[in-house]
Structure 1
């Protein structure tokens, strides 16, 4: 198997790993307010998240930015919670589109936080000289982007099905989805090992 496919598959697995579902939860929270007709804005948001994630890995691999793992492990569920709560507070508000630049900026920042969460493991996968780290990092980023697009498509299909077949309103879909995500991440925050230090 070529080196490209190795790192691409690691990127796919990083997002789609059942054991580490925080990445999928964030994508779910990000996608909830969108529909198929919003695909350009949604793709841009997902790509910004990947860019932030990759930037964090790059900074970490070259040891420009190093943050304690326990802090990052607390920040990751907080980013998910913040996104889900934002969905609830902007539910039905017409000025949501006006806040897109802020949403894009926050998505990029949250991508950096999520990237830092994976940086230690990714550094152990690499090895070799600093020159040999950039290409695997980009291959890994493509795997992440592919997996995220898969999650986004699955969420959009489920949203369409629930809203069409079961006559859920879009508002109810966002409300129930955000509440579910909040219910999953609050225990992650409460049980974080940082509180035991």
Structure 2
């Protein structure tokens, strides 16, 4: 595989999180990290990486044609994972270690579902490439870098509201989670597969 091929897949992964068409992915990351502050960078990065791992597993399994799911159901389940995460934020006490560990498992599981969403469109492209592993690696690396940049920008905005405008963290979590919930619910209703 040439470096330009690797860059192609990297950019494909990158655009999967930063493009205007990536609203569902962005909303999920936003809901996932809404309960954290900039002081919890380590937890946030582990959480986002757990999501990428789940996403990567499903993408790989789909590319090798080990699993395949009806895209209508996957497109419906993706916004469902978003609004479930947003609702869960309203009941979380992020100071308890058990909740933090549960977040990692949920991020991993929901990453599996999100990975299925992109798998259908990228499967044929990767399957034709004789260096599938490097293509998957490039895509997932681009995805992870895009997510980290999105997280940094989100945490900067969050920090401005929390530290400069003195918004209470609980109010910020309720505001962000409610907005994400409303958008995700609308997406889910538009994508009902039956």
TM bin, normalised by shorter chain, reads over 0.9
Tell me the residue number matched to 1:183. Answer: 182
Q: Report the alpha carbon displacement of residue 126 of structure 1 after superposing the two structures with TM.
A: 2.0
Where structure 2 has 5 or more consecutive residues not aligned to the other structure, the ranges are: none
Q: Which residue is equivalent to 1:67?
A: 69
Q: Does 1:54 align with 2:53?
A: no
The match for 1:32 is 34
Alignment length (residue pairs): 192
The range that moved more, 60-69 or 1-10, is 1-10
1:184 and 1:43 map into 2 onto residues whose CA distance is 25
Whether 1:79 aligns to 2:81 is: yes
2:167 counterpart residue number: 168
Deviation readout 1:123-180 (Å, 9 max, x if unpaired): 1322436x52111001100000000001110111000001122221111110000000
Q: Distance in 1 between matches of 2:52 and 2:171?
A: 29
Equivalent residue number for residue 142 of structure 1: 141
Q: CA deviation at 1:94?
A: 6.2
Query: How many Å apart are 1:16 and its aligned residue?
Result: 1.1
The residue that corresponds to 2:103 in the other structure is 103
Q: Which residue of 1 aligns with 2:156?
A: 157
Q: Using structure 2 for the length normalisation, give the TM-score.
A: 0.94
- Report if aligned partners of 2:9, 2:139 keep a CA contact under 8 Å in 1: yes
Normalising by structure 1, we get a TM-score of 0.92
Distance 1:120 1:158 in 2: 34
Q: What are the superposed Cα offsets for residues 40-88 of structure 1, whole Å, 9 maximum, x if unpaired?
A: 1111111111111010000000111111001101110011011100100
Structure 2 residue matching 1:20: 3-state secondary structure: helix
